Amino acid sequence: MTDTTQATNGRRLARLAWGRLWQARWLFAAAVAALLGLHASGGGSTLAVSLTVLALLAVAALSPRRIFPERPASIPASSRPALSEDLSAESLAAAVADPLIVFDTRGVVTLSNSAAASAFGDIQAGISMPLKFRAPEMQELLESMLSGRFPSKTVEYTERVPIERVLRVTATAVGHGTGLFVMVVKDQSESRRIDRMRADFIANASHELRTPLASIAGFVETLRGPAKNDAAAREQFLQIMQSQTSRMARLIDDLLSLSRLEMKAMTVGGAKVDLGRVIESVVDSLKPLAAESGVVIDNRMGGERIEVPGDRDELFQVFENLVENACKYGQSGGRVVVSATRPVQGEVAVEVRDFGPGIAEEHIPRITERFYRADVENSRLHKGTGLGLSIVKHIITRHKGRLAITSKLGEGAAFTVHLPVK
């Protein structure tokens, strides 16, 4: 059995050697031709040198060589996955997050994705695009595409119902001569809202700073002119100027505070904060203001320890703003009550209630907007900047909480801070 195996291996090696020599036949032919040429020209080459060269070539041909894998041949078209099987038009449309609609030269829908159905309701195949989209901008876009004047066109228009939306619509011909067009819709409402908020913020901040600056400039001019030697007027004007500069300083401090909050991460660390001690510190710090406003602060937090994860300084700022506002704007009620509920469903609620004039219902949804004031004159009388509640809401959001506001005219207002206890 061993002899048979050895014989088989010997024949295999012989075939391998012969195959390698045969593959190198042209190299041997070139070497023999070169050696014959040297002999003919009298180059002095001996027979031993020639045989040595041929032996080296044979060894090189028979030595093991690194075999590189051959490049795979191109995959036949018949074996490739068909587009209609694994990558259909429906699956491609469904993968697009924005509303997508395909229509033909008659303006009839041939395909739409689920995002289009969510945005525009019934938009199934067979529906006429000009009848579905009646806005003048959309009619112009469809007419341009169906007439073949433009291979691609983009328009923006505003829908008023059921809610106001700013939409950017791009329509493009599909390939050449297919008779199909694809329309993709981008909702620009959020970006426009942010742009409008940014513009309003700049306008409001400029106005809030310009007013005290104009007042100070007027008093300076008066002190340098008609009231130059009037000691009583000078004292009065300087007092007003000091009040105006303090107002600007408070406004700048609030703007910087809001900016710092926005630059921080949206979540706070896991340090535990005792709300009872925070409220106690707030009440102690605001006792002089409460006495000046004729208000008594009734702290009903008690001695129960209520801990929440968060930043103590930021939570102090939240309740300081709320209690201070309650003392200023609810002073006619004579008291402010701070209370807390026991943790329920993983959160605790701390309520700051006043018994003043209250807030009209139409103002409540916007009361936390920057520079929004329900009562402009009263706010300026109490030296408010219009940023306090905006800062409060931002901090509470960072703490994964929420702010609830309830009020009835003539019965006061209640601001409730809901914070997670874990």
Distance CA 417, CA 168 (A): 39
Q: CATH second-level architecture of 85-187?
A: 2-Layer Sandwich (3.30)
Residues forming beta bridges with residue 339, ordered by sequence position: 351
Distance CA 275, CA 91 (A): 53
**pLDDT score of 405:** 92
- What token pair was written down for 93? 């449309």
Give the residue range(s) of CATH 3.30.565.10 domains in the chain.
Answer: 272-420
**pLDDT score of 7:** 64
| Buried/exposed 116-144: b ≥16 CB within 10 Å, e otherwise | beebbeebeeebebeebbeeeebeebbee
**pLDDT score of 19:** 67
Distance CA 150, CA 324 (A): 62
Distance CA 393, CA 84 (A): 52
**pLDDT score of 50:** 58
Is 96:115 a contact under the CB 8 Å cutoff?
yes
Residues 6+ apart with CB under 8 A from 121: none
* HEC profile of the chain: CHHHHHHHHHHHHHHHHHHHHHHCHHHHHHHHHHHHHHHHCCCCCCHHHHHHHHHHHHHHHHCCCCCCCCCCCCCCHHHCCCHHHHCCHHHHHHCCCCCEEEEECCCEEEEECHHHHHHHCCCCCCCEHHHHCCCHHHHHHHHHHHHCCCCEEEEEEEECCCCCEEEEEEEEECCCCCCEEEEEEEECHHHHHHHHHHHHHHHHHHHHHHHHHHHHHHHHHHHHCCCCCCHHHHHHHHHHHHHHHHHHHHHHHHHHHHHHHHHCCCCCCCCEEEHHHHHHHHHHHCHHHHHHHCCEEEECCCCCCCEEECCHHHHHHHHHHHHHHHHHHCHHHCEEEEEECCCECCEEEEEEEECCCCCCHHHHHHCCCCCCCCCHHHHHHCCCCCCHHHHHHHHHHHCCCEEEEEEECCCEEEEEEEEECC
Tell me phi and psi for residue 359, to 5 degrees.
-125, 135
Give the residue range(s) of CATH 1.10.287.130 domains in the chain.
Answer: 191-263
- The closest alpha carbon to 300, from 323, 318, 316, 317, belongs to 323
**pLDDT score of 83:** 47
CATH number of 191-263, picked from 3.40.50.1980, 3.90.850.10, 1.10.287.130, 2.60.40.10 = 1.10.287.130
Neighbours of 152 (CB within 10 A): 12
Neighbours of 20 (CB within 10 A): 16
Distance of CA 420 to the CA centre of its chain: 24
Tell me the residue type at 31: A
Give the residue range(s) of CATH 3.30.450.20 domains in the chain.
Answer: 85-187
**pLDDT score of 337:** 92
One pLDDT digit (tens) per residue for the chain, 422 residues: 456 656 666 676 667 666 666 666 666 566 666 566 656 655 544 555 555 555 555 555 555 554 444 444 554 555 544 444 456 778 888 888 899 999 999 999 999 999 998 888 888 889 999 999 988 999 999 998 888 877 888 999 888 877 788 999 999 998 887 889 999 999 988 888 878 777 777 777 777 788 888 888 888 888 888 888 888 888 888 888 888 888 888 888 878 887 777 777 666 666 888 988 999 999 999 998 888 888 999 998 876 788 888 889 889 999 999 999 899 888 887 889 999 887 778 889 999 999 988 888 888 888 888 877 776 555 555 566 778 888 899 899 888 899 999 998 888 999 999 999 87
What class does CATH assign to 272-420? alpha beta
